[in-house]
Chains A and B, each alone.
Chain A
Amino acid sequence: MSSISGFERIRQTTGSDDGALLTGAIGVVLLGAAFVAFLMNSTLTIVPVVGFIVVTAYGWYAHQAETARALTLLATTSTVLILVLITVFLILEALPAFQLMGLAIFAVEKPVELFGVTVIPGQDPLWSTSQDLYSLTPMVWGTLITTALAMLIAGPLGIAGALFISEIAPPTIREIVKPGIEIMAGVPSIVYGFVGYVIINSYMMDNFALPTFGSLFVVGIVIGLMSLPTVVSVAEDAISSVPPSIKDGSLAMGATDWQTMKSITIPSAFSGVSAAVLLGVGRAAGETMAATVILGHTQALPEPLYDVFGNTETLTSLIASQYGNATGTHMSALFAAGVVLFVSVMFLSVGSQLIEARMKRQLGGNQ
């Protein structure tokens, strides 16, 4: 669709000749053929791919401007295509599990009834590969708990860090802190996980007499540290995009810097800062390796539910720890966990983008 309209536009705007258009058409057909062949897992995929390369090379030689434009359009389309493919394949693979379990994919131990109608089915055990029972409830709960713990750390500390970098720190200190936070974002999650696994888990068992190896508490703290840099950098962007003129206005009235931050800067950047927190939530919920390595992997709800020192599973750690020996519906259930995760994170992402767009509109009226 979009590629055709793109070519139409090329024709209109550049008045290119039919040769360029024909080259483009052949290129698109070949690429489409290659894609279909790859989808069908054909060994002949190579033929249209080579054809496409040849056509592109010819186009570059004969009609460079048009070819370049078409290729950039192609690259743009591929971004969207990848997201579409991810969505489609995830859902396709998860379908058997959803069909098998129905609503019971979110089953709890005892059915919840409302006016005599079962709203949430009950099931015991919640997760059993031998009995083909796959309720994702413990994992959803585990993800919720760890994400909440993580955000208790990353939210306030992240916003404070962003304020420090953009508003408080003298330039020399900012030049140290800012790259430091970026580097913190770069520490691979498996390294955090390894430290958590070897050091913190034993520490918790020694000093808090935990009966099991690993706990939601440790995962929450580690993930919180890991999503901290995301919150700091996005919130800092938002805070420094507040026009300096309104901050000056506040200071010139005798408000202190801190009053200006509290009453002017943060409220003006509120959308951006909340977008930062939402992104942080997304990062925390999707964090895999630290949770996988630190947790003790029991697919049951903690007892009592809020026992953060207990063990359960998160959506991510379920996938990473069980994919190896999973087949059939079991594998499909793992994909279902992926779908739940993917959909939630997409909601967070789109939500934060809407909020950010709102902020731009709001502040735009002032400039």
Chain B
Amino acid sequence: MSEPVTSADTENSTQTTQSTQSTERSTVSGETDERIQQSWLDYDFEGEPKLASKELDVHYGSDHALKGISMEIPKESVTALIGPSGCGKSTFLRCLNRMNDRIKAANVDGSVTLDGEEIYQDGVNLVELRKRVGMVFQAPNPFPKSIRDNIAYGPRKHGDIDTGLLARLSGRKDQKKEDEIVERSLKQAALWDEVKNRLDDNALGLSGGQQQRLCIARCLATDPEVILMDEPASALDPIATSKIEDLIADLAENYTVVVVTHNMQQAARISDQTAVFLTGGELVEYGDTDKIFESPESQRVEDYITGKFG
């Protein structure tokens, strides 16, 4: 009974009532009866895409939660996924590191590639995939352990640092390496100055915003290439939110960040490109953030952004 459904998207996807046809380009949906056009989804950028999805469909039992999503995500940038509740944006995010595998009823069809390598094929090493594609969740979820143990968790589990009993007996404890990783990650997450004197305190004693930055630091400690963030600031107050937003902007220099948000101002502030999902699990428009917010091509996206619905 522990299905990790953390986002409202999956629960609300039952709202999809309209009939769906097999190809998403011709799907008719919503009140506006508008066809999604290929040109709205084409997004040209330089270089190879870091992540790319092609014709990605997700079913939860009989619910069709994502319909034929194809999009390419450039590296070292911030991509925002926006849309109303139940539009499938969190589901899409969870496809990118195969966290949907955890939900028994979820059925994923189509393709997702990481640096051109298919992640939905036999023989994919989930450990390796999730090391390279890190994730930060909606509500801060630090482990009930010390701050240090939280940060060092990933490297320890992956055998990069060994602080086990045997290693200690043989005097091979990688303490120095661990200290470096802890310090580097916490500094990257702009948390170092606040916690450097209490690394051995329980992480649950931190404030909500600090906990979320700890979770980001924890994710950075495993040296990911991509960081997925599922509404990372939705449970935080405005000050903590702005700290997280600054952090995301900094991270984009070295990492590919994909962030789900339902806060349009936030998406406009932090992202380089934006993808708009609308009710029914469709990707309606994708492109430069400025363009999406200033001159969207789809009438439905414009209605959503100007607050007429959604």
A→B interface (CB under 8 Å): 166, 170-171, 240, 243-256, 259, 263-264, 267-268, 362-363, 365-366
Whether B4 contacts A245 by the Cβ 8 Å rule is: yes
B128 (CB) vs chain A CBs: closest residue: A254
What would be 15 A-B contacts, judged by CB atoms less than 8 Å apart?
A: A244-B3, A246-B143, A249-B137, A249-B142, A252-B99, A252-B130, A254-B129, A254-B158, A255-B157, A263-B153, A267-B144, A268-B143, A362-B144, A362-B204, A366-B144
Interchain nearest-CB distance for B235 vs A (Å): 11
Q: What's the Cα separation between A243 and B97 when bound, in Å?
A: 21
Given the complex of chains A and B, what is the CA–CA distance between A247 and B135 in angstroms? 13
Query: Are B127 and A256 within 8 A (Cβ)?
Result: yes
B86 at the interface (CB under 8 A from A): no
In the bound assembly, the distance between CA atoms of A170 and B104 in angstroms comes to 9
Of B2, B128, B131, B134, the residue contacting A247 (CB under 8 A) is B2
The CA of A123 and the CA of B204, in the complex, are separated in Å by 56
Chain B residues within 8 Å of chain A by Cβ, number: 34
Give the CA-CA distance A169 to B277 in the complex, in Å: 35
- Tell me whether B145 is interfacial, beta carbon within 8 Å: yes
**Known contacts A245-B139, A248-B99; A253/B4 CB under 8 A:** no
Tell me the complex Cα distance, A247–B143, Å: 9
**CA of A244 to CA of B3 in the docked complex: distance in angstroms?**
7
Which of B53-61, B75-83, B214-222 forms contacts with chain A?
A: B214-222
A254, B157: Cβ atoms under 8 Å?
Answer: yes
Pairwise interchain contact A245-B6, C-beta atoms closer than 8 A: yes
Q: Is B157 in contact with A249, judged by CB distance below 8 angstroms?
A: no
Given the known interface contacts A254-B128, A362-B144, the answer about A248 and B153 at a Cβ–Cβ threshold of 8 Å is no
Q: Do A249 and B141 contact each other (CB < 8 Å), given the known contacts A255-B157, A259-B157?
A: yes
Cβ-defined contact, B4 with A244, below 8 A: yes
Say what secondary structure dominates the interface of chain A: helix
CA distance A243 to B137 in the complex (A): 13
Q: B129, B139, B144: which has the most chain A beta carbons within 10 Å?
A: B144
CA distance A113 to B129 in the complex (A): 67
Are B143 and A251 closer than 8 Å at their CB atoms?
Answer: no
Which residues of chain A come closer than 8 Å to B3, judged between CB atoms? 244
Q: Which residues of A contact B126 (CB under 8 A)?
A: 254
B296 at the A interface (CB under 8 A) = no
Provide the residues of chain B in CB contact with A249, threshold 8 Å. 137, 141-143, 215, 218
> Could you tell me the distance between the alpha carbons of A245 and B6 in the complex, rounded to whole angstroms?
8
| Chain B residues with CB below 8 A from A264, complex form | 143
Would you call B102 an interface residue if the criterion is a C-beta within 8 Å of the partner chain's C-beta atoms?
A: yes
B residues near A259, Cβ cutoff 8 Å = 157
Residues of B146-161 whose CB lies within 8 A of A: 153-154, 157-158
B1 at the interface (CB under 8 A from A): yes
Residue of B nearest to A259 (CB): B157
Complex CA gap A246/B141 in Å reads 5
B137 and A250 contacting across the interface, CB-CB below 8 Å: no
Structural contact, A244 and B99, CB atoms closer than 8 A: no
CB neighbours of A248 from chain B (8 A) = 4, 6, 99, 102, 137, 141
Give the complex CA separation of A247 and B3 in angstroms. 11
> In the bound complex, do residue B154 and residue A253 qualify as a contact, i.e. CB atoms below 8 Å apart?
yes
Shortest Cβ distance from B246 into chain A, in angstroms? 23
CA distance A166 to B134 in the complex (A): 26
Q: In B81-114, which residues have CB < 8 Å from any A CB?
A: 97, 99, 102, 104
How many angstroms between the C-alpha atoms of A345 and B303 in the bound complex? 68
Q: How far is the CA of A233 from the CA of B134 in the complex (A)?
A: 35
Q: Which residues of A contact B99 (CB under 8 A)?
A: 248, 251-252
- Interface contacts beyond A252-B130, A252-B137, A255-B127: sample of 10 additional A-B pairs, CB < 8 Å, sorted by A: A244-B2, A245-B139, A247-B4, A248-B6, A248-B102, A249-B141, A249-B215, A256-B127, A259-B157, A366-B141
Q: Once the chains are docked, how many angstroms separate the CA of A362 from the CA of B202?
A: 10
Query: Closest Cβ of chain B: how far from A310's Cβ, in Å?
Result: 37
Q: In the complex, what's the smallest C-beta–C-beta distance from B225 to chain A, in angstroms?
A: 12
Chain B residue contacts of A362, Cβ below 8 A: 144, 204
**Residues in chain B near residue A246, CB distance under 8 A:** 141-144
